[in-house]
Amino acid sequence: MKLAGLKSIENAHDESVWAATWVAATDSRPALLLTGSLDETVKLWRADELDLQRTNTGHCLGVVSVSAHPSGVIAASASLDSFVRVFDVDTNASIATLEAPPSEVWQMQFDPKGTTLAVAGGGSASVKLWDTATWKLIASLSIPRPEGSKPSDKSNSKKFVLSVAWSPDGRRLACGSMDGTISVFDVARAKFLHHLEGHSMPVRSLVYSPIDARVLFSASDDTHVHMYDAEGKSQVGAMSGHTSWVLSVDASPDGAAIATGSSDRTVRLWDLSMRAAVQTMSNHTDQVWGVSFRPMGGNGNRGGRLVSISDDKSISLYGYS
């Protein structure tokens, strides 16, 4: 397995690029790349040429997260001022604007069926679930306070929720917090199940293995990538090698590899069978905020693709094989 650099766009945005995701292919078009940046815009790119399709404006502050509906028709972008804009990918028509209290929108993700949007709730120490049909808030999954702590206790801000991930079967939801813990919820019952421990610093990215709903990968500022048995409440592996914070992690669609982006300005590809980095890409000149594999399916997909985005304002596309 290896990555091959295909194309790189310098100054894809005017400022740091902070978020990237793939929009699934639809009948009319292939999969597209969606990026969000500090320059308050969201851009839509066509692979593999990385042609700019459109620039969406409308956010007042930097875009911290973008997420695409599994159908590939709609997508959502969230900015630092805690607005989530849901829009039609092809027309850029606004579908909904979800407003949350400030500091309470971070990473977000559509569930695999596309009925719910999960939003990492930052300072509220919870994950908010929005119904994608009515765009109403349907549930708020709160991390329970440590025993004996009062509501006014400031320690709650330690549970600042940064990241969120759906299990591929859609039954479980995991969220990562600033204190390094990962919380797992049962979505159907809207119930907190347990914590996954092991990280000592903020967990900025989470992803479930696409082939195994129990396996969860987490990326943390403590420079490690962990592999958990999310049901069994245990850490099953740790991968080290980055020299600075690991900012993002994504699993390849075949489930054989994960890619990570880090503050040490590199992108690494990890072979899960060896639990070791097999390739390190150093083409970015600043920290890498996001990595994302193109999902399987759709027509015209000739092979695996990985994209990485960085503070150096550039987007890089790699072939994965």
Partner 1 sequence: MNKTEEEKELLLRQLKESLDANPDDPSLHFDLGVCLWERAESKETAAEHFVKAVKLNPQNAAAFRYLGHYYSGVSVDTQRALKCYQRAISLIPDDSDSGDALCDLLEQGGKESLEVAVCREAADKSPKAFWAFSRIGFLQLHQCKWSEAVQSLQHAIRGYHNSPQLWEALGLAYQRLGMFTAAIKSYGRAIELDDTSIYALIESGNIFLMLGSFRKGIEQFQLALKISPQNVSALSGLASAQLGLSKECINLGAFRWGASLLEDAHEVAKANTCLYGNMSCVWKLHGDIQLTYAKCFPWMEENHSLEFDVDTFNTSILSWKRTCLMAAVSAKSSYQKALHLAPWQANIYIDIAITSDLISSLNESYEHHLGVWKLSEKMALGALLLEGDNYDYWVALGCFSDHNALKQHALIRGLQLDVSLAVAWAYLGKLYRQEDEKKIARQAFDSARSIDPSLALPWAGMSADTHARDPSLDEAFESCLRAAQILPLAEFQIGLAMLSQHSGHLSSSQVFGAIQQAIQRAPYYPESHNMYGLVCEARFDYQAAVASYRLARYAIKSSADTIPKSLFQDVSINLARSLSRAGNALEAVRECEDLKKEGMLNAEGLQLYAFSLWQLGRHDLALSVAKNLAASFSTMESSSAAASVSFICRLLYNISGLDSAINSILKMPKALFQSSKMSFIVSAFHALDKSNRLESVVSSSRSTLASPEDITGMHYLVALGKLVKNGSESYLGFDSGIFHLRKILHIYPNSNLIRNLLGYLLLSSDKLKYTHIASRSCRIETSNVTRKEGLKSAWEILGAGGVACNVIGSIDMKFSFPTCGYECLNGPKSVQELQKCLRREPWNHNVRYLLILNLLQKAREERFPKHLCTILERLITVAISSESYSKQHMSYQYQKFQLLLCASEISLQVGNIIGCIKHAENASALLLPDGYLFFGHLMLCRAYAAEGNTRKLQEEYVRCLELKAEYHIGWICLKIMESQYEVLADSNILESNFMEFSKEQKNSMDYWVAIFSLVMGLFSIRNKDLLSAEKCLAQACSLAGSESCLLLCHGTICMEIARQYHDSQFLSLAVRSLTKAQETYLVHLPIVSILLAQAEGSLRSKEKWEKNLRHEWFTWPPEMRPAELFFQMHLLAMQSKVGLDYSSRVESCQSPQKWVLRAIHTNPSCLRYWKGLHKLVELA
* Residues engaged in binding partner 1 (CB under 8 A): 15-16, 18, 38-39, 58-62, 64, 80-83, 85, 97, 99, 101-104, 106, 122-124, 152, 154, 157-158, 160, 162, 178, 244-245, 263, 286-287, 311
- In angstroms, rounded to a whole number, what is the distance separating the alpha carbons of residues 172 and 74? 23
Sequence-separated (6 or more) residues with CB below 8 Å from residue 120: 105, 106, 107, 108, 127, 161, 162, 163, 164, 175, 176
Q: Which is nearer to partner 1, 31 or 291 (CB)?
A: 291
Residue pointed to by tokens 């048995």: 229
Exposure string over 132-150, b if 16+ CB within 10 A, otherwise e: beeeeeebebbbeeeeeee
Q: How far is the CB of 65 from partner 1 (least distance, A)?
A: 10
Strands (E), 47-124: 51-56, 63-68, 74-79, 83-88, 94-99, 108-110, 116-120
Q: Which is nearer to partner 1, 104 or 111 (CB)?
A: 104
Q: How far is the CB of 189 from partner 1 (least distance, A)?
A: 28
Q: Which is nearer to partner 1, 154 or 302 (CB)?
A: 154
Q: How far is the CB of 262 from partner 1 (least distance, A)?
A: 9
Q: Which is nearer to partner 1, 40 or 111 (CB)?
A: 40
Q: How far is the CB of 153 from partner 1 (least distance, A)?
A: 11
Q: How far is the CB of 36 from partner 1 (least distance, A)?
A: 11
Q: Which is nearer to partner 1, 18 or 208 (CB)?
A: 18
Q: How far is the CB of 218 from partner 1 (least distance, A)?
A: 17
DSSP state of 24: P
Six-digit token string for 69: 């509906």
Q: Are 154 and 118 a contacting pair, CB within 8 Å?
A: no
Q: Which is nearer to partner 1, 107 or 209 (CB)?
A: 107
Beta bridge partners of 268: 260, 280
- In angstroms, rounded to a whole number, what is the distance separating the alpha carbons of residues 242 and 267? 9
Q: Which is nearer to partner 1, 99 or 186 (CB)?
A: 99
One-character DSSP codes across 93-107:
-EEEEEE--TT----
Q: How far is the CB of 217 from partner 1 (least distance, A)?
A: 20
Within 13 Å, how many C-alpha atoms sit on residue 299's CB side?
Answer: 4
